[in-house]
Amino acid sequence: MSIKEQLKNIKTELPDGVTLVAVSKTKPNEAILEAYEVGQRVFGENKVQEMVAKWETLPKDIEWHMIGHLQRNKVKYMAEFVSLIHGVDSLRLLKEINKQAQKHDRVIPCLLQMHIAEEDTKFGLDEAELKELIQSEEFKAMENITIMGLMGMATFTSNQNQVRKEFASLKSIFEKLKQELPNISVLSMGMSGDYGLAIEEGSTMVRIGSSIFGDRNYS
C-alpha cells in the first residue's frame, strides 16, 4: 500500500482528539511530501540534525516534533522552530531548552518523558523524579518552556496485558499531575505496534512511523 493509503487508513481509526505524529525518521523528503499532500502536517524525528535538514527544505507549515532522546548541546539547533519536544527527562535539559527558547523570544512546548517500561534501556523519569522536578524553584521560574503533558514508551513485548498496564500507569500519573499542572492536555503514547491499546488507555497523541512509511533501513 502507498504512504497515502496507509495514512488514510490510520486516520480513519483514530478517534477525534487524538493527534497523529507521523514519524518520518530515516525517511526521505519525498516520503514526507506524500503524506503532506494528503494533509498531514505533524511529523516526528529523533535526530536533531536530520530534523533541521528537513525543516530547511520542506514546507514551513509543517510542525516538527522531536521525539528522540535529546542531548543538551543539540537544543540550540532546533530552538527556532521545534513545535513540541517529547523526550524531556531532566531539569538540566529543560533549563537548556528554556535558555535557547529565550534567545528566540519564544516559548517551547515540552512533554516530560516517564519511564514506564520494564527495560532499563528506555529513558524517562520515575514518579519521584517527576515530583521533584515540578516542585523545584528552578522549574517554577522558567518562562520560556511550557509543559503540555507526558510521554512514555511501553515495553517491547507481545504481552498485551503488560503493555496495557504500562499505558494505564502513565495515564494515572498524568491524571495526578493535572492537580499540580491543570493546563496539561497531551498524553503521548502509542506507536505502530501498540497505538490501539494506547488509545483505549487514554492516549491523546500517537507516534506512528513504520505503519505509515514502511520499515526503516538503518545502515
Ligand X SMILES: *Cc1c(COP(=O)(O)O)cnc(C)c1O
Judge contact between 75 and 96, C-beta under 8 A: yes
**Which residue number, 65 or 171, has a Cβ lying nearer to ligand X?**
65
* Alpha carbon distance 35, 176 (integer Å): 36
The residue from 6, 24, 40, 46 that contacts ligand X (CB under 6 A) is 46
* Alpha carbon distance 171, 141 (integer Å): 27
Site for ligand X contains 155 (CB under 6 A): no
Question: For ligand X, which stretch binds (CB under 6 A), given 6-14, 125-133, 158-166, 208-216?
Answer: 208-216
* Sign of the dihedral through C-alpha 174, 179, 180, 183: positive
* Alpha carbon distance 34, 24 (integer Å): 11
List alpha helices for 43-126, DSSP H.
48-57, 75-78, 91-103
Site for ligand X contains 191 (CB under 6 A): yes
Q: Which three cell numbers stand for residue 178?
A: 493535572
What is the closest distance, in whole angstroms, from the C-beta atom of residue 21 to ligand X in the complex?
8
Site for ligand X contains 210 (CB under 6 A): yes
Question: For ligand X, which stretch binds (CB under 6 A), given 10-18, 124-132, 171-179, 204-212?
Answer: 204-212
Residue whose Cβ sits closest to ligand X: 209
What is the closest distance, in whole angstroms, from the C-beta atom of residue 105 to ligand X in the complex?
29
Binding site for ligand X (CB under 6 A): 23, 25, 46, 67-68, 153, 191-193, 207-211
